[in-house]
């Protein structure tokens, strides 16, 4: 396996090179990405003290062991722990090169395990190349890190677990631009956790309704957030390598401020009303003029 000899640090692999290494045999899992060639094409990150490879690799190994029978269930466990282990600025996480490196050099076996290919008997054919090199809401590792960043409530990762337990909620909501408003994210998660929204079709209807209304309604005005504490986030970044990462309980995220509860409360009735009026495929709607 390419992961037998780990690099010391996580590096950056440019998109053009990542695409070059995504051959059909690699996507099928019949060949491993060439570690020497990937290392030669990769660039130093400049933050080697924070981007240690071994702790990140260890959480992938643990996830594959714990959830061997059900890889999708690993998302809720892995997302907060990846975020707490690989501590990034949002500007760093927005660069695809770090995720390319994780997928092709550090843990290509995880991508195949999670998303199919030769190592997953439930799937046939190649893994979608976007799982190796793709947008934030699709790439195997970027989606987990961003889910933890956008769904956490300050240092509390419990909303992340809730959001990631339902694949349709996770996949639909993470694509929405409005999810960058923290109060909107927490209100949507609360509706889901209350059981108001359960099925795949209901999740789709809610996300479409809230997103459409968000084009004309200023959620930020209805539910003003407070600016996260940037200094506290920086302090959390500087703790890399010193913080204890529990596997049996949730880690602590950056203590940069919780979402204001009154702001979430202001959005909940609005989102509930939007959901009531949203067309859910397969759900009988009342005739016009009737409640």
Average confidence (pLDDT) per 10 residues, the chain, 291 residues: 75 97 95 96 86 94 96 96 95 96 97 76 79 96 97 97 88 89 94 82 86 83 94 92 77 96 95 84 49 43
So what's the pLDDT on residue 291? 43
User: Domain extents for the chain?
Assistant: 1-117+127-151, 153-281
So what's the pLDDT on residue 243? 63
Q: Is 51 helix (H, G, I), strand (E, B) or coil?
A: coil
Question: Model confidence over 98-109: pLDDT tens digits?
Answer: 999 999 999 999
Q: Please name the helix (run of DSSP H) or strand (run of DSSP E) that holds residue 270, with its range, or none.
A: helix 261-277
Q: What phi, psi does 245 have (nearest 5°)?
A: -110, 105
The pTM score is 0.91
- Tokens matching residue 189: 């998660």
So what's the pLDDT on residue 203? 84
d(CA 285, CA 271): 18
DSSP state of 258: P
Q: Give percent of the chain above pLDDT 70.
A: 90
- Cβ count within 10 A of residue 287: 6
């Amino acid at each position: 396996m390419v992961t037998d000899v780990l690099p010391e640090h996580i590096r950056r692999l440019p998109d053009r090179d990542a695409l070059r290494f995504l051959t059909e045999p690699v996507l099928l899992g019949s060949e491993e990405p060439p570690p020497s060639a990937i290392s030669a094409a990769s660039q130093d990150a400049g933050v080697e003290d924070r981007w240690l490879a071994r702790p990140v690799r260890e959480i992938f190994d643990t996830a594959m062991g714990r959830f061997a029978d059900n890889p999708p269930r690993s998302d809720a466990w892995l997302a907060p722990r990846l975020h707490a282990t690989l501590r990034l600025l949002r500007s760093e996480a927005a660069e695809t090169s770090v995720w390319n490196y994780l997928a092709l050099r550090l843990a290509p076996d995880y991508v195949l395990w999670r998303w199919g290919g030769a190592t997953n008997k439930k799937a046939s054919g190649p893994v979608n190349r976007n799982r190796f090199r793709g947008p934030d809401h699709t790439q195997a590792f970027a989606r987990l890190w961003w889910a933890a960043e956008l769904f956490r409530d300050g240092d509390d990762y419990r909303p992340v677990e809730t959001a990631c337990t339902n694949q349709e909620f996770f996949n639909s909501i993470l694509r929405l631009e409005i999810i960058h408003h923290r109060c909107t994210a927490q209100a949507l998660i609360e509706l889901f956790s209350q059981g108001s929204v359960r099925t795949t079709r209901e999740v789709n209807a809610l996300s479409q309704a809230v997103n459409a209304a968000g084009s004309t309604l200023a959620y930020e005005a209805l539910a003003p957030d407070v600016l996260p504490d940037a200094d506290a986030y920086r302090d959390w970044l500087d703790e890399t390598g010193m913080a204890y990462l529990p596997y049996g309980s949730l880690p602590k995220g950056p203590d940069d401020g919780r979402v204001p509860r009154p702001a979430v409360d202001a959005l909940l009735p609005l989102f509930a009303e939007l959901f009531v009026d949203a067309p859910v495929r397969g759900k009988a709607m009342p005739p016009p003029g009737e409640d």
